[in-house]
A and B are shown apart, each in its own frame.
Chain A
Amino acid sequence: DTGVSQDPRHKITKRGQNVTFRCDPISEHNRLYWYRQTLGQGPEFLTYFQNEAQLEKSRLLSDRFSAERPKGSFSTLEIQRTEQGDSAMYLCASSLVLGRNEKLFFGSGTQLSVL
């Protein structure tokens, strides 16, 4: 078990560019989450997958954001036409849901800076 890994750790981009982040969850975990976190705040839910199906997206999620989880393994989060307000830490978490209990395991995040 190597934990949840995210790549890259840091990304600096210019406004208007597209960026893509990758998350590799713990291998037997069936659920994968994306969160966004800004300084001094708790993580904000973006979307989650149950295996390969994207089951929920935050109402706050702009249509510039898209996430995929092909074959229910790794996931990618793409942001198109980035804006300065997209600057944040993007966190991925995975879990193995057993009944009503769920424990999330987080990666170290991708820090995005939009100039």
Chain B
Amino acid sequence: DAKTTQPNSMESNEEEPVHLPCNHSTISGTDYIHWYRQLPSQGPEYVIHGLTSNVNNRMASLAIAEDRKSSTLILHRATLRDAAVYYCILRDERSNYQLIWGAGTKLIIKP
């Protein structure tokens, strides 16, 4: 199964940009990179996904390295409501497209 590696936790100040890194060195050519986040006491919530090109939506931006072995989720202006666990996941063709979740990065936002 293709795996991802993320830092256990990160801290950021409110209203500043946040860059959440993810390494996925065993990614295959057809694996999509997905990001979800989980707020306390809630189920995970979709954030963004991409294949090769950088992606933007109203929640975040996803920057994918040219070799696709790493990616970065960018929150342009973090608020206290962005405090959550962020999961970087590969949608892996080899595991019948199941999402293989790691432990994620706990993002702490300081006021």
CB of A49 closer than 8 Å to a CB of B: no
Binding site for B on A (CB under 8 A): 4, 40-45, 48, 56, 91, 93, 100-109
Cα of A42 to Cα of B101 in the assembled complex, Å? 5
Interface SS majority for chain B: loop
Which residues of B are found within 8 Å of A56, using beta-carbon distances? 96, 98
Whether the Cβ atoms of B87 and A91 lie closer than 8 Å is no
Of chain A, the residue at the smallest CB distance from B106 is A40
Interface-lining segment among B20-28, B37-45, B58-66, B68-76: B37-45
Of chain A, the residue at the smallest CB distance from B98 is A45
Chain B contact patch, size range: 20 to 34
Cα of A109 to Cα of B89 in the assembled complex, Å? 20
| Chain B 10-50 interface mask (CB, 8 Å, partner A; 1/0) | 00000000000000000000101000100001111110010
Which residues of B are found within 8 Å of A106, using beta-carbon distances? 42-45
Cα of A107 to Cα of B96 in the assembled complex, Å? 23
Listed from nearest, the 10 A-B pairs whose CB atoms lie closest are A106-B43, A42-B101, A103-B46, A106-B44, A43-B101, A91-B43, A45-B98, A108-B43, A109-B43, A107-B43
